[in-house]
Chain A
Amino acid sequence: MTGFRTLLYKEVLRFWKVSFQTVAAPVLTALLYLLIFSHVLDAQVLVNGVRYAAFLIPGLVMMSVLQNAFANSSSSLIQSKVTGSIVFVLLPPISYVEFFLAYVVAALLRGLMVGLGVLVATAWLAPLTFVAPFWILAFAIMGGGIMGSLGMIAGIWADKFDQLAGFQNFLIMPLTMLSGVFYSIHSLPLFWQQVSHFNPVFYMIDGFRFGFFGVSDVAPGTSLAVVAVSFIIVALTTLALLRSGYKLRY
């Protein structure tokens, strides 16, 4: 397991050495979202009986977990592919399972670190409850795992930075922004409510938020099942890509 542990350590060290950019910056971004939206809407809006600022915080925390988990594995892989330093990981006797676990766990750690940072930075701005901490953790870990894994797929697939940016801006960004971070899907027209049910990120946010307030758009068990199945599908796809050597071993 030394190979896995070293790769994990290296991946964590990589983002930690530039933590101002990889941890502090996304925390500030989320804080700004909260300040602006809660200033405009907090007095007028109640969602599922919760004041808007409090409703928004778990959404922002989870969005930060997801986006940073994706950013970590995808940017690490594309950077080492473009610079060629990926060879240092491909030459040693590291199995594709160890490779997968190291990148996903590192991505998850960064996601959780940013998420915790957002929570600490915003919690004092609105009254928060933690009704079901297990659900909070379960959704954060699985959601981060899915995005870390998707980041690996994107990083392996992309040959250039702009391909990766395309993946991030045209797939990950809309999926997270339109997942109910900023609103309850019950406030949407019926058609868009139905469309939202096909977005796995919606279940991640909704289940995560349930852990705080004990209320959600769909039953948390359903969300957990959807997220777990999504995680298995994405993880197996990533493992299959790594095993085949797709775009890594020619």
Chain B
Amino acid sequence: MGVAVSIQQLVKSFGSLRALDGVSLDIAEGEFFGLLGPNGAGKTTLISCLAGLVRPDQGQLSVLGCDVLADYREARRRLGVVPQELVFDPFFSVRETLRIQSGYFGIRNNEAWIDEILENLDLTAKANVNMRRLSGGMKRRVLVAQALVHKPPVIVLDEPTAGVDVELRQGLWHFVQRLNREGHTVILTTHYLEEAEALCGRIAMLKQGRIVALDTTSNLLARFTRHTLNLRLSNESGLPEALRVRATSNEGTWVFRLAGFDEIEPLLAAIRQAGCTIDDLRLTQTDLEDVFVGVMQAADVREGMAVR
């Protein structure tokens, strides 16, 4: 597999704000890649640099080997971007919008593909409706459709499901997953971490313009995995001191943080030996949200700004 997107030592400042501070990242063809980070981390700036909307101060970016500045025409043909802002041109209908967008990419007679996109995004019934008359969710779908008119091998979705209902979210992800299976590289930024966890094979986490974590989703989850065992005992005071130091008490529930499943059995054995009876037991697993919080806190500590 070749490299779909290559970003090398990317630096971009807006006045005194360093939005991107030396970001390097390679995304392989066919990946479903997640770009996560808090507001202001630099995700949209990174995507805007890739799309040619923002000019970097330093560094190189290429899409499928085409430099986004020197070879901008070829780079842009290979890239489809769904912008974060809900923007539209109020003069045109949905179909006119998509025809015009096709023309911008040098494509005429694109009706068959436009019909297919409309069908897949459940927009067929709205094809001849003016953009002004669409709901927010519908406008969002048109934005996705506009990014796909030229069948770009690399698709960038900048928070495409912000403010979108569950049904559309599901439909959109089915369509994007299908495109990914058909070989399109997908880059996604989102605030919904469960989405990133479910969809992305690999994830980069950004903070203050720097990459603070970059790994496969499963490795990230494994690295930060803390199974949590929540126990409610019938005789709380009976928990021996040796176990008590390993747990925290939360409204009568003892919470044990475990590195792995193998720690469960010895713990339960020790509790039995102490003569305690378990009333209730619950095991929870780490999700991407815990990983995210962990990574961001670790980055804070590295920056020497941990809040105590």
Contacts and interface: CB of A to CB of B under 8 A. Distances in A.
Interface stretch (B49-57, B227-235, B237-245, B261-269): B49-57
Given A90-B52, A91-B81, A9 B91 contact: no
How many B residues are at the interface, by size bracket?
20 to 34
Contacts of A3: 103-106
B100 A93 contact: no
A95 interface: yes
Interface residues of A, number: 27
A83 B227 CA distance: 47
A162 B72 CA distance: 34
Interface string B91-133: 1100010001111111110000000000000000000000000
A72 B266 CA distance: 78
Contact of A249 (B55, B104, B105, B108): B55
B178 interface: no
B73 A93 contact: yes
A2 B100 CA distance: 10
B105 A10 contact: no
B76 A84 contact: no
Contacts of B88: 83, 85
A77 to B, nearest CB: 13
A87 B100 contact: no
Interface string A1-20: 01101110110011001100
A85 B105 contact: no
Contact of B91 (A14, A87, A91, A92): A14
B55 A2 contact: no
Given A5-B103, A91-B76, A92-B101, A85 B55 contact: no
A88 interface: yes
Contacts of B48: 250
Contacts of A84: 83, 85, 87
A80 interface: yes
A18 B91 CA distance: 9
B23 to A, nearest CB: 17
Given A10-B103, A83-B87, A92-B150, 7 more contacts: A3-B104, A84-B83, A85-B87, A92-B101, A93-B73, A93-B105, A249-B52
Interface of A: 2-3, 5-7, 9-10, 13-14, 17-18, 80, 83-85, 87-95, 245, 249-250
30 contacts: A2-B106, A3-B104, A3-B106, A5-B103, A6-B103, A9-B100, A9-B103, A10-B103, A13-B91, A80-B89, A83-B87, A83-B88, A84-B85, A84-B87, A85-B88, A87-B53, A87-B83, A87-B87, A88-B101, A89-B104, A91-B53, A91-B76, A91-B79, A92-B76, A93-B73, A93-B105, A95-B73, A249-B53, A249-B54, A250-B48
Instruction: Please provide the 5 A-B residue pairs with the shortest distance between their CB atoms, ordered closest to farther.
Output: A6-B103, A92-B104, A93-B73, A84-B87, A93-B76
